[in-house]
């Protein structure tokens, strides 16, 4: 029975860590997508620390999952013990990052509104802001009213085909909706995706810690007999 349990745990570890490697790549991909998409707008929305942290975590998960597969296949007590310790530490780190992400998502609208209002009223950031309007297909903070209240003309970046020739007239009838809603939706979508992946990874990591320690005990038991 014990041999059967060890056999099952060994191959579960191998299969799960293959999935972990893929999950690590998914975390890297999602983090990189957000980081690259917003790289030109960090003067307005500065979340570099969060995105880079997510990418680094994804890389570490991938490397450790690969090493775990090797340890399970070779039945190396040292590698499996190291793997279990690393997974426990990673689970704790990812719990912290997940809490930060969901905490941010709980205040997305307020946070994004504050960032965008500050940037919208900063003349030095106006070109960057208009670039963000074209990327997210949005206008001002809450639509064309953001410009009209300040007595500013509605820029071409608020409408489709801003570089059309001849230039089209941008007005309240053909302009995009506000950037606060669009950018908040963007962060909600990617934040929930990254957070969801991290939650699943944390649960499986806790199971893998138990399985890794079980394998270590079984290997040590066989070698002391």
The sign of the CA dihedral 142, 49, 21, 5 is negative
Task: Specify the pLDDT at position 60.
Answer: 83
Does residue 7 lie within any of the structural domains? yes
Does residue 36 lie within any of the structural domains? yes
**Residue 24 burial by CB count (10 A; 0-12/13-18/19+): exposed, middle or buried?**
buried
Q: For residue 54, count other CB atoms closer than 10 A to its CB.
A: 26
Task: Specify the pLDDT at position 4.
Answer: 62
Does residue 131 lie within any of the structural domains? no
Answer for the pair 114, 44: CB distance below 8 angstroms, yes or no: no
pLDDT digits (tens, 9 = 90+) for 158-215: 888 766 666 667 788 888 888 988 888 888 887 788 788 778 878 877 887 887 777 7
Task: Specify the pLDDT at position 167.
Answer: 60
Task: Specify the pLDDT at position 224.
Answer: 53
Total count of domains within the chain: 1
Task: Specify the pLDDT at position 197.
Answer: 78
Q: pLDDT below 70 — which residues of the chain?
A: 1-7, 46, 75, 162-168, 220-225
The alpha carbon of 32 is separated from its chain's Cα centroid by a whole number of angstroms, namely 8
DSSP SS3 for 2: helix
Does residue 208 lie within any of the structural domains? yes
Does residue 127 lie within any of the structural domains? no
Q: Show Cβ contacts of residue 119 under 8 Å, excluding neighbours closer than 6 positions.
A: 43, 44, 125, 128, 129
Does residue 218 lie within any of the structural domains? yes
Q: How far is CA 49 from CA 61, 89, 100, 184, 218, in A?
A: 18, 20, 12, 18, 41
Does residue 162 lie within any of the structural domains? no
Both tokens of 52, joined, read: 């880079």
Q: Which domain holds residue 14?
A: 2-111+197-224
The residue with tokens 């946070």 is: 111
Task: Specify the pLDDT at position 102.
Answer: 79
Closest CA to 186 of 147, 135, 222, 139: 135
Both tokens of 62, joined, read: 């991938």
Does residue 31 lie within any of the structural domains? yes
Q: Helix 179-224 crosses helix 48-74 at what angle (to 10 degrees)? A: 20
β-sheet bridge partners, residue 139: 178
Task: Specify the pLDDT at position 225.
Answer: 47
């Amino acid at each position: 029975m014990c041999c059967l349990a060890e056999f099952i745990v060994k191959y579960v570890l191998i299969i799960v860590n293959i999935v972990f490697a893929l999950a690590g790549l998914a975390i890297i991909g999602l983090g990189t997508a957000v980081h690259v998409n917003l790289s030109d707008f960090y003067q307005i929305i500065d979340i570099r620390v969060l995105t880079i942290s997510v990418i680094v975590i994804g890389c570490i998960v991938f490397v450790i999952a690969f090493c775990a597969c090797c340890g399970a296949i070779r039945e190396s007590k040292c590698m499996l013990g190291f793997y279990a310790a690393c997974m426990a530490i990673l689970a704790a780190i990812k719990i912290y990052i997940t809490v930060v992400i969901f905490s941010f998502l709980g205040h997305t609208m307020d946070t994004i509104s504050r960032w965008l209002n500050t940037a919208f009223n900063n003349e030095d950031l106006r070109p960057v802001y208009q670039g963000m309007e074209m990327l997210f297909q949005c206008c001002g903070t809450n639509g064309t009213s953001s410009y009209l209240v300040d007595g500013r003309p509605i820029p071409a970046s608020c409408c489709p085909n801003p570089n059309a020739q001849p230039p089209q007239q941008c007005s309240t009838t053909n302009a995009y909706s506000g950037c606060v809603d669009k950018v908040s939706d963007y962060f909600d979508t990617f934040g929930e995706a990254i957070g969801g992946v991290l939650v699943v990874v944390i649960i499986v990591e806790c199971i893998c810690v138990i399985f890794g320690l079980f394998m270590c005990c079984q290997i040590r038991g066989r070698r002391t007999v």
